[in-house]
Structure 1
Amino acid sequence: MPDFPAPTVRVVDVYPYREATSGRQFLVLHRAEGHAYAGAWRMVGGKIDPGETAWAAALRELREETGMVPRRFWSLPSVNTFYDWSRDIVALAPAFAAEVQGGVTLCAEHDAYEWLPPAEAASRLGWPEQQRLLRLADALLEAGPLAPSWEIPLPPRGKNGGHS
């Protein structure tokens, strides 16, 4: 049997949402030209820095890509799994949901954003696993209280209004 590398955890997915008067909405971001996945609608995501936890990377990516700090932050009880043929690895991406409020400030990686109802937001995402995870986040919120073990306590807010 050929050797196959162990699954790797190098990236995170974050599914920002808000509770609007018209119902729950999820944020989708349009990737700008010159960046990976240019022209695609995506959720927040990115690499885990050396020495960084997955949940800290998720908070950092949310802040960097949208300028937002969550009021509630939790880990989905599932991961995004995919095969990266260019590196011949199976990748595992921890997935998080973040309840946010306020305006979006896009970074240069994105050129547009939309707040959409769950089904429409999921249909914008190109990867089936990301569609599944967004739907899972919505279903868990609809089902009632989240399991306490999924909730991630947020660090105290820093002087700049963000979490330190």
Structure 2
Amino acid sequence: MSDYPTESSDFAVQVVGAAIVDSLDGPRQILVARRSAPEALAGLWEFPGGKVEPEETCEQALQRELSEELGIESILGQEISGPLMQGWQLNDRAAMRVWTSEISAGNPQPLQDHSELRWVNLDETLLELDWIPADFPIVQTLLETL
């Protein structure tokens, strides 16, 4: 897969997510979040994040979402490039861009949309979690690139 998206896309909803690692310099673990809602996704694991508002850049939206959902501030690292201009397709209406991230302030708590947070080793055990199907290819790419 190329480092640069090659296919154009035009999704109505831009979503952003964070692959929060213990260290951007030498990542060994990732913080994953278990969804509490909606019912169809409850209990599945995902990258924390959310929708980009019209007045925000993707990076600003991700920082806001991490603050709202987990109560943290973070340093963004590299983007985990997806196959599309808008990142990774989630459904017919939405695509997600994902960045690596390291916590710079705060202690992560499941404040919104999540029932549990868990630090997981960045190895094959990460693939054993019950991921939201659209996030699974991103997890695989993350493991290949880190």
Aligned identity (percent) is 25
Q: How does 1:111-126 map to 2 (within 5 A)?
A: 111-118=115-122, 119-126=124-131
1:83 aligns with 2:86: no
Is the alpha carbon distance of 1:100 and 1:121 closer, same or farther for their aligned partners in structure 2, counting shifts above 3 Å? farther
Is the alpha carbon distance of 1:11 and 1:140 closer, same or farther for their aligned partners in structure 2, counting shifts above 3 Å? same
Alignment-mate amino acid for residue 55 of structure 2: G
Q: Which runs of 4+ in 1 moved over 6 A?
A: none
Q: Secondary structure of 1:126's match?
A: coil
Is the alpha carbon distance of 1:56 and 1:92 closer, same or farther for their aligned partners in structure 2, counting shifts above 3 Å? same
| Partner in structure 2 of residue 135 of structure 1 | 140
Q: Secondary structure of 2:74's match?
A: coil
After superposition, what is the alpha-carbon deviation per residue over 1:15-43, rounded to whole angstroms, capped at 9, x for unaligned? Answer: 11114xxx6111111222xx222222221
Give the number of aligned pairs.
127
Contact residue 13 and residue 44 of structure 1 kept, 8 A: yes
Q: Which runs of 5+ in 1 are unaligned?
A: 142-164
Aligned residues: CA RMSD: 2.5
Instruction: Select the structure with the greater relative contact order (CA < 8 A; seq sep ≥ 6).
Output: 2
Q: Distance in 1 between matches of 2:145 and 2:135?
A: 15
Q: Secondary structure of 2:90's match?
A: strand
| Match of residue 62, structure 1, among 66, 80, 95 | 66
Alignment-mate amino acid for residue 100 of structure 2: A
Contact residue 43 and residue 125 of structure 1 kept, 8 A: no
